[in-house]
Amino acid sequence: MSTRRDFLKMAGLGALALGFPMVGSQGLPVSQGLAEKSTAAGFQPLEKPKRPNVLFLIVDDMTTTLGCYGDRDARTPHMDALAARGVRFERAYTQFSLCNPSRCSFLTGCYPERTEVYDLVTSLRVALPKVVTLPQHFKNAGYTAGRIGKVFHTADPKTKLDVETGAALHKDSVVLEEAKLAERSEGDLSDPPRKGGREGAQYNRCYAPSPHPDGDFTDYKIAEDAIKTLEEFKDKPFFLAVGFIRPHTPYVAPRRFFDAIDPTKIAMPAFYQAGGENRKQIPDAALRPNNNVFRFQMPSPKEAREARRAYYASTSWADSQVGRVLAKLKELKLDENTIVLLTGDHGYQLGEHGLWAKQTLFEEGTHVPLLVAGPGIKPGVSAALVEQVDIFPTLAALAGLEIPSSVQGMSLQPLMADTSKPGKPAVFSTMVSTHTKLLGRSVRDDRFRYIEWDDARGGRHLYDHESDPHELNNLAEQPQHAARVAQMHELLAQHVKAVRSK
């Protein structure tokens, strides 16, 4: 097993090999220091290398429902094109399947047990008042830095950037309310909604196509702000983080994105197939209530199929706005010297195990897309196990910056230079059960996933991905797997102890 020091050494060699400057003890690129010494000795100074820009794209609640990940129902040409010109990490995992804890983790490079952020309101500054965040690190290194849309989940007053714009989150909710009104009123908005049954029960779902023009949606405005900011930043090294909102609920998008997907042909998970799925072996803590997408009762198979189509449509809509930003990058001829990293902030359940939305420790709730493209990065696919906590050190290494000692992740630069290299022996995720409030943790190695709640007192699961990729058969209580369960339980304990002590 490689140590963190080994990975950082490899990352340093990789930076030189890819043509990016390494940073010396005085905070200057090594080549710049050589140039200054050459001038003092009367020699012609070396030309200062141009530092690469960074465009960090975060798509809220987007799992691996992308064409480049083999999803046949996806319509994501722009993200697929980005994957084709860079490295796609096939097995990347989030540290926490909830917005604020996840973002605090990858924006600091620290595991949740170190940030101590487990909910939507706690600031990372409570446990880490002096930690340098990812955009801060680039700004401190002389980059012009900005964030557009949803990057941090809660405000971080200590991360002051050159450009900061938020997102008008209410816009898409207004669009959904109009779509709901139209459905209830059979298309006549002047006719008040029909009443009947439980109040609101005639509209159980949080999704709908909309006749509104593109400009009425939040993500269009985010893309507009990003495009304007690229114009402002084009003549200087920059770090720009752009956070899109969809496919986060409500699943709304212009109608053409819904019309492009035939709901009758969408692949459905085992829970909605003939014979269903037996959930009796799953601990109660893992089966969160479905109150994000469906408000009043479990969806029918027809509603579930429509919801998946709406999620795909919203993802396709987000893809179109990512495409606008990438097109501007190319138009300004910045794509040749810009590192582009794209990810979702965590995984997502789309009916698997009868679950919808985030906050689970299953494969679907923790698996995330991770795409990296840029100068010197050869196209490829890595099957290595990696984590979102690795994003910070990876971007720093690719830009030739030192990696802060506070960072607990590892640079993925060696895996990008050689996509056949093995990754981590295991990856880790944490979660708080929404209804039982038990703390759960997961460890995923090359073959197995192990999940336990309240140190196994609240239940445990073990899945063999070689024979059971959809995690339908819990092996944790089978005697023949007792040794493996004990081993993975100890691995989790060692991980928590290690990341808390740093």
What is the residue-wise DSSP string for 398-436?
Answer: HTTPPPPTT--S---HHHHH-TTS---SEEEEEEE-TTT
State the pLDDT at residue 202. Answer: 54
State the pLDDT at residue 115. Answer: 97
Model-level pTM?
Answer: 0.87
Please tell me whether residue 342 adopts helix, strand or coil conformation. Answer: strand
Q: Which residue has the tokens 């640079």?
A: 411
Residue 96 DSSP symbol: B
Q: Which residue has the tokens 């359940």?
A: 349
What stretches of 200-358 show up as alpha helix (H) in DSSP?
A: 218-233, 255-259, 301-331
Q: Could you give all domains of the chain from N- to C-terminal order, each with its CATH number?
A: 4-19+50-425 (3.40.720.10)
**β 367-368/87-93 pair status:** antiparallel
State the pLDDT at residue 134. Answer: 98
State the pLDDT at residue 432. Answer: 97
Q: Are 463 and 471 in contact (CB under 8 A)?
A: yes
490 vs 469: CA distance, rounded Å: 24
State the pLDDT at residue 92. Answer: 98
State the pLDDT at residue 75. Answer: 98
358 vs 287: CA distance, rounded Å: 11
Q: Are 102 and 428 in contact (CB under 8 A)?
A: no
Q: Which residue has the tokens 């990293």?
A: 341
State the pLDDT at residue 48. Answer: 57
Positions of the chain with pLDDT under 50: 1-42, 186-201
Q: Give the chain's length.
A: 502
Task: Return the number of other C-beta atoms located less than 10 Å from residue 185's C-beta.
Answer: 14
438 vs 453: CA distance, rounded Å: 6
34 vs 38: CA distance, rounded Å: 6
209 vs 422: CA distance, rounded Å: 43
423 vs 410: CA distance, rounded Å: 10
Q: Compute CA distances 436 → 284, 287, 431, 454, 459, whole Å.
A: 8, 10, 12, 10, 12
Q: Which residue has the tokens 């099957």?
A: 383
Task: Return the number of other C-beta atoms located less than 10 Å from residue 203's C-beta.
Answer: 17
Q: Do you find a cis peptide bond into 247, omega within 30 degrees of 0?
A: yes
Please tell me whether residue 12 adopts helix, strand or coil conformation. Answer: helix
What stretches of 59-199 show up as alpha helix (H) in DSSP?
A: 77-84, 99-108, 112-115, 134-140, 170-184
Q: Which residue has the tokens 């900005």?
A: 146
State the pLDDT at residue 276. Answer: 85
Which residues is 426 bridged to in the sheet? Answer: 445
Cα angle, residue 148 at apex, residues 146 and 152 outer, rounded to 5° = 90
C-alpha Rg value of the chain to the nearest Å: 23
Distance of CA 180 to the CA centre of its chain: 29
